[in-house]
Structure 1
Amino acid sequence: MYILRCADDSYYTGSTRNLLRRLEQHQSGKGANHTRKFGPVELIYYEEFTRIDWAFYREKQVQGWSRRKKEALINSRPVDLKQFAECQNLSHFKYKE
């Protein structure tokens, strides 16, 4: 599972069996539509898994995260990662008296 920073400062999250080959595809415009449109890209984070289905599951998990939560992961800030995982809505139980 990997995260790329695109030229427009957006993040792209993907998974692959061969990270170097996939990165070359993104850089050459043969990758995903997002990286083709907003390339070039920079690899800023990756995790290795022994099974591609585990990597794909993690990719889908991280894709659903906010930008701040992704940045906490990228920057190895576990305390922030936990904080950004909490519900921030005013209706959340921690805000009720």
Structure 2
Amino acid sequence: MTGEDAGEELRAYIREGRITSIPVRRPARLLLLDRVARAFEPGVRYTEARVNEVIGVFSADVPALRRGLVDEGFLEHDRVHYWRCGGTVDL
């Protein structure tokens, strides 16, 4: 799917740069999560507080997005840090 196609697909879930709802259909949900994951720099470790700040820019439902990012393999975490482990990378 091209970037333009992805934008069209996500238009129903994003208004004025903020996520209004999380898609039920997995392909659309993965596109949305990938867009959020791109806000995290590969190779950088983040505290949970910082992850929450970054996700909070996209949506008020921070726990659902954080859980989705982890469950779908975009972020990994240990007891102290989160780090990006999946998704597309802007060149």
> In which range does the TM-score fall when normalised by the shorter chain?
under 0.3
Q: How high is the TM-score relative to the length of structure 2?
A: 0.27
Q: Kindly indicate which of the two structures has a greater share of residues assigned to helix.
A: 1
Between structure 1 and structure 2, the one with the greater Rg is 1
Q: How high is the TM-score relative to the length of structure 1?
A: 0.26
